[in-house]
Structure 1
Amino acid sequence: MWEYTDKVMEFFYNPRNQGTITEKGEGQAITTGEVGSIACGDALRLHLKIDEATQVILDARFQTFGCASAIASSSALTELLVGKTLDEALSLTNKQIAEFLGGLPEEKMHCSVMGQEALEAAIFNYRGIPLDNHEDDEGALICRCFGVSDARIRRIVLENDLTTAEQVTNYVKAGGGCGSCLADIDDLIADIVTEKATAVAVATEVVKAKSAPKPLTNLQKINLIQQVLEEVRPALAQDGGDVELFDVEGDLVKVILKGACGSCASSTATLKMMIEARLRDRISPEITVISV
């Protein structure tokens, strides 16, 4: 026995918007989308009334043959559609239908998918787009028992983060007949996982590249070096010394130690601790400072 939420049972026992739409006013249109078949166990016919000027859905009704979750999903769909534009409606996912009902057993998720696909079929019909041009029908046929293409499986896997063939069966019934396509479904899922991992890796590298600091121009580097030299000058001056920038060759910084610093035995420590360490921190760890 399936574990249904109270809301699923409410929409099953007291379905909203059941029936057809037969009347329309001036500037209004009626369109229908139909998916599934009684032979396969579930079928849904969705009717929409559309304001042609604003493209807003004014009314939505359904006729469903199927189980409690199929009827509840269809009813929930109609509740979610009224007041939306066609473009807004097309962004509705099967996950949102299931969430509206407080969730569905995974084995019944195909009912929410059926609602999403009926909605697309209705809008495609209204816009005059042949259903055989739908992107889900452009791929190779994977499940012959239920007529499911690889493009449709790919879409459902991506939208619902599916990871197993069993889950795919729960969402679109593919593999639920003779089972000969289950290996193909597993291969398709593996390909999708690899593609997603590659996409994440590429995106990570792009973020790293964007966040990486831009290399300094020669002028910027020289200015920073001069700033560091100005910072150490007061300390050198206390001992009667001074420092002056002589030249910059890539990461090699040449300075002239003046006054007492020029003959001081600790001049190397001055270069390394007071100047080179600061330049490595601010410019590059490859910086080397020498006295000329």
Structure 2
Amino acid sequence: MWDYTDQVKDHFLKPRNVGELKGANAIGETGSLNCGDALRLYLKVNKNERIMDASFMTFGCASAVASSSALTEIIKGMTLDEAAKITNDDISDYLGGLPKEKMHCSVMGQSALKKAIANFRGVQILSKPGQIVCECFDVTDLEIIDAVKANGLETTEDVTNYLKAGGGCGQCLDRIEEVLESVKAKG
């Protein structure tokens, strides 16, 4: 059983801002229903690019629900530029921490937020830099490298816990290991 903080339990048992947001003018989606976790984030943004309201729909575990709920609470009232600076660690910190095996849920929130901001601004995100390693969760080699360096990830399991990469069909596990080894070799 996961060791959840009281804040995580509260946001899971009594999630805030759940459901489709009427009048939303920005939507960001991430994850994959086929592979286990998915999030759709709705924003209502005014002409000054201030987030007036936010809601979510998610398919996932307690951490996914809690992270999504927390994210909506964090960003309400922020400008898009302020919200764009929100990291997955900010979401986790707001919840008093997440188990390392569940950090990917906060990463999913950060990803959906970036996509919603791009959607509002009419910016099409064509593709991420780098090569796709995990097709289930759309994770690139550069994202893995950044996460390994920034968070001291050492194993394939660490990468899966943090980014969800390898947590679906598992066909990318060898490639994740190759990326990890290349980072270690460059030291």
Q: Give yes or no for TM over 0.5.
A: yes
Is 1:169 equivalent to 2:160 in the alignment? yes
Task: Compute the displacement of 1:94 (Å).
Answer: 0.3
Higher RCO, 1 vs 2 (CA within 8 Å, ≥6 residues apart): 2
User: Which protein shows a greater Rg?
Assistant: 1
Name the CA distance, whole Å, in 2 between partners of 1:189 and 1:94.
Answer: 22
The answer on 1:73 being equivalent to 2:67 is yes
CA RMSD of aligned residues (A): 1.8
Residues of 2 paired with 1:152 and 1:115: CA distance? 15
SS at match of 1:166: helix
> Is contact 2:31–2:137 with CA below 8 Å preserved after alignment?
no
Structure 1 residue runs of 5 or longer lacking an equivalent are: 24-28, 195-292
Residues 36 and 114 of structure 1 are in contact (CA less than 8 Å); yes or no, is this contact kept in structure 2?
A: yes
Pair 1:149 & 2:144 matched:
no
Normalized against structure 2, the TM-score is what? Answer: 0.90
Structure 1 moving runs of 4+ over 4 Å? none
**In the alignment, is the contact (CA less than 8 A) between 1:46 and 1:60 conserved in 2?**
yes
- The answer (yes or no) to whether the contact 2:145–2:180 under 8 Å persists in 1 is no
Query: Matches of 2:150 and 2:83 in 1, distance apart?
Result: 16
**What TM-score results when the alignment is normalised by the length of structure 1?**
0.59
5+ long unaligned stretches in structure 2:
none
What whole-Å deviation, never above 9, does each CA across 1:170-215 have from its counterpart, x for those lacking one?
1112233132223213124326x63xxxxxxxxxxxxxxxxxxxxx
In structure 2, the residue matched to 1:30 is 25
SS at match of 2:165: coil
- Distance in 2 between residues matched to 1:92 and 1:158, nearest whole Å: 19
Letter in 2 for 1:185: V
Task: Tell me the matched-pair count.
Answer: 184
User: What's the % identity of the aligned pairs?
Assistant: 52
Does the residue aligned with 1:62 lie in a helix, a strand or coil? Answer: strand
Residues 51 and 80, structure 2, Cα contact 8 Å, conserved in 1 = yes
Relative to total residues, which structure has the larger helix share, 1 or 2? 1
CA distance in 2, matches of 1:33, 1:145: 17
Please tell me whether the aligned partners of residues 145 and 179 of structure 2 are also in contact (alpha carbons under 8 angstroms): no
Please point out which of 102, 105, 114 is paired with 1:108.
102
- Structure-2 separation of matches of 1:174 and 1:68: 19
Cα distance change on mapping 1:141 and 1:16 into 2, 3 Å: same
Matches within 5 A, 1:253-292: none
SS at match of 1:181: helix
Residue 48 (1) aligns with residue 43 (2): yes
Residue in 2 that maps onto 1:263: none
| Offset, 1:22 | 1.2
Change (3 A) 1:185 1:166: farther
SS state at 2:29 partner: strand
